[in-house]
Amino acid sequence: MVPEISLASIEQTVARLEQIEVVLLALPQPDEVDGWARERTRQRLKHLRTSALPDHMPVFSRRFLHGDYHDANVFFVDGQPAAIIDWEQTRLAPRAWEIVRALHLSMGLQPQLCTAFLAGYREVLSLPVAELEDGAKFYAALQERNVWTYESVYLENNPGPKVFIRPPPYVPFAQAWREAELR
């Protein structure tokens, strides 16, 4: 059975981030990235506690998706896509969720790259603006609640994901999406 994506509650996310914050504050010799994580966690907790964060359930249908589609999971031969790897995150989700995720992870929401990607996608398949926006709202709600990187590094002692921790400030995905003005 293929799992569906579901939202954790804001309360659960705050509790998980508070656990992470305790560990971060207790580090005997924090490095620069630990400092980033501590500041971003503080900023994120403030955001979660003071903002109206709606649960967004997608309007568009869910379908079977790769679940972790981004540039590092595509193999190329002679400049052409030849294979997609890493199928362990397959799930049922709206296709626009995965498109928005790829725009975020592979292209950093850079308008020029994302606009070109969307134009190319739309040459092959229809993607109405309303569907893209629905996917962005769902992705934003999921990102607000995503603490995988920090839990993995600071609660499970897995140093690998530490490379994904970015310097402050914490910018909610919904804000970054609005600023990118992608349609």
Burial class (CB in 10 A: 0-12, 13-18, 19+), 139: buried
Q: Where are the domains of the chain?
A: 10-60+95-180
Measuring CA to CA, how many Å separate 118 from each of 4, 63, 107, 151? 25, 19, 11, 33
For the stretch 59-113, pLDDT in tens is: 988 888 887 777 788 899 999 889 988 888 888 899 999 999 999 999 999 999 9
32 or 4, greater pLDDT: 32
SS3 (DSSP) at 80 = strand
Rounded average pLDDT over 30-36 = 98
Q: How far apart are CA 114 and CA 107, in angstroms?
A: 7
Contact 73, 85 (CB under 8 A): yes
- Phi first, then psi: what are they for 150, rounded to 5°? -70, -40
